[in-house]
Amino acid sequence: MSGHDHQLHEGDSLKRAARDRLTQQGEQWTGMRAAVFDALAGFDKPASAYDVAEAVSKAEGRRIAANSVYRILDIFVAANLARRVESANAYIANKHPECLHDCIFLICDTCGQTVHVDDDHLSASIRKAAENAGFSAPRPVIEVRGTCGECDAGMK
């Protein structure tokens, strides 16, 4: 369908991929960062920084302040280990940190489930539109709010 065959990691494989990617970027893979990544990857929907902080706190058995989590999430986003979902003020782990995509999120307003679509043709068109308007270094934010099939069916 999307025309390329990158690997969709999960579990330990994802964790290794994340660590490799982060270190390749010249950043450190510390215990704290591993804990934050685990927590984020453990959510099946976009999680707010505070949600992540709470999850990490529980896992570590001590209070982790939100700002530490913010710092780490910023690094993750910069390194492509995670994505920020702007319309939800939340973050989600990237299942294939090694591939750069302008990705499209479909977010269910009812249940919060978020699916991730890559359509390089579409995003290239958007980049091009931005460049035509004189914008450089464009970073597209493409999200669609709506109702997922499951919730839609349950709405009768």
Closer to DNA by CB, 3 or 61: give it: 61
Q: Are 10 and 44 in contact (CB under 8 A)?
A: no
Decide: is 51 part of the binding site for DNA (CB under 7 A): yes
Closer to a second copy by CB, 44 or 152: give it: 152
Residues 6+ apart with CB under 8 A from 59: 35, 38, 39
H/E stretch holding 79 reads: helix 66-79
Q: Binds 51, which of a second copy, DNA, none (CB < 5 to 8 A, cut-off by type)?
A: DNA
Q: Binds 67, which of a second copy, DNA, none (CB < 5 to 8 A, cut-off by type)?
A: DNA
Q: In the range 52-91, which residues lie near DNA by CB under 7 A? A: 63-68, 70-72, 89-90
Coil/strand/helix, residue 25: coil
Q: Binds 87, which of a second copy, DNA, none (CB < 5 to 8 A, cut-off by type)?
A: a second copy
Q: Binds 50, which of DNA, a second copy, none (CB < 5 to 8 A, cut-off by type)?
A: DNA
Closer to a second copy by CB, 42 or 129: give it: 129
| C-alpha dihedral, 74 to 78 to 84 to 89, nearest 10° | 30
Distance (Å, whole) CA 122 – CA 105: 13
Longest Cα–Cα distance of the chain, Å, equals: 52
Which chain residues interact with DNA by CB under 7 A? 27-28, 30-33, 48-51, 63-68, 70-72, 89-90
